[in-house]
Amino acid sequence: MPYPVLPQVPNKRRRAAVAVGTLLATVLLAACGATTADETADSKSPSGQAGSATQAESSEPTATAPPGPARKLADVDGDGRPAEHYEQVLAALAPRCKEGAEELVTVVDVTLKSLREKGVDGETEFSVLQHLEHWVPAGQPRIACASSAKDYAVSRDAT
């Protein structure tokens, strides 16, 4: 025997109250970090697990790509200056030098060590890079910037 079907009487207030309640519950659950039933079901499926693994993996840094020259200088300095600042100065200096950007990192490191051995204080990787960029003339054929860096280090007095 089929169950009797009751006529559905539209109740706009009830629908609005249910909609608002559902919206509030969703917002509160999202704010608390809870997942909905759909998200829980998706995370248990193989495709949901692959998606969550991909999200977790993508949030971790990749170890396959080595840091660029600007990032290396920024990391050595450790003063919180963005690598983009180093990149800008390297981009201005590199076309003037026979050395590539990777070699310029070594030039800056060696120059900073020479300055410190002389007793010159207050220099950083970034300041040496900036001084070298100012020291190497623009608009001429490429030069050996390592030689110019040595000249710069010799010109500096201990402070």
What confidence tens digit (pLDDT) does each residue in 10-34 have? 555 555 555 555 655 555 555 555 4
- The DSSP line for the chain is -PPPPPPPPP-HHHHHHHHHHHHHHHHHHHHHT---HHHHHHHHSHHHHHHHHHHHHHHSPPSSSPPPHHHHHHHHH-S---HHHHHHHHHHHGGGBSS-HHHHHHHHHHHHHHHHHHT--S--HHHHHHHHHHHSPSSS--B-HHHHHHHHHHHPPP-
What confidence tens digit (pLDDT) does each residue in 82-138 have? 999 999 999 999 999 999 999 999 999 999 999 999 999 889 999 999 999 998 888
